[in-house]
Amino acid sequence: MGKKSENRELPIALRAAYLSLHRNSDAVFAEFGVTADQFVLLATLSKGVALTQRELANRMNSDPSTVRAMLVLLERSGLVERKSHPTDSRARMVSLTPQGKKTFQSLWIAGEPIRNKMVDKLSTTELAQLIALLNRIAFALNQ
């Protein structure tokens, strides 16, 4: 069966593509003192309103204690801040500082060549297919 035999290749191909993306990102963001994973956190915050640490962890597919460790580092470098939640005094609202927003803009521009390199050789249709397939896999794995 074709399917069975290629079953083995998918995890390897997925890993190779992700690691390449991760390494390229780390290399490009290093001059800003930011890691690829920290970029993801900043990008998540950049989308809009402040989030609780738990919401942030959920959206990043990460763990609350992992996110906390990252936030401590990012707070230390002045890119994020944590304020008390208006109604739930257990929670803390995380948001980008002005410097964090500025840095993120630079990071976004610096990362553009990577994003372009990924998609330049793909047609519009292929890109949409790829995203859809990846989302289906992630969904299936989380069931």
Partner DNA sequence: TATTGTTATACTCTATAACTATA
Partner DNA sequence: TATAGTTATAGAGTATAACAATA
Residues of this chain that interact with a second copy (CB under 8 A) are: 1-3, 6-21, 24-25, 40, 61, 114-122, 124, 126-131, 133-138, 140-143
Sequence-separated contacts (24+) of 33-38 with Cβ below 8 Å: 33/77, 34/79, 34/103, 34/107, 37/70, 38/70, 38/73, 38/74
Cα separation, 139 vs 25, in Å, equals: 25
Cα separation, 56 vs 94, in Å, equals: 8
Cα separation, 17 vs 122, in Å, equals: 14
What minimum distance in Å lies between the beta carbon of 77 and DNA? 8
What minimum distance in Å lies between the beta carbon of 92 and DNA? 4
Q: Which does 54 bind (CB under 5 to 8 A by kind): DNA, a second copy, none?
A: DNA
What minimum distance in Å lies between the beta carbon of 34 and DNA? 8
Q: Which does 16 bind (CB under 5 to 8 A by kind): a second copy, DNA, none?
A: a second copy
Nearer to a second copy by Cβ, of 99 and 135: the residue is 135
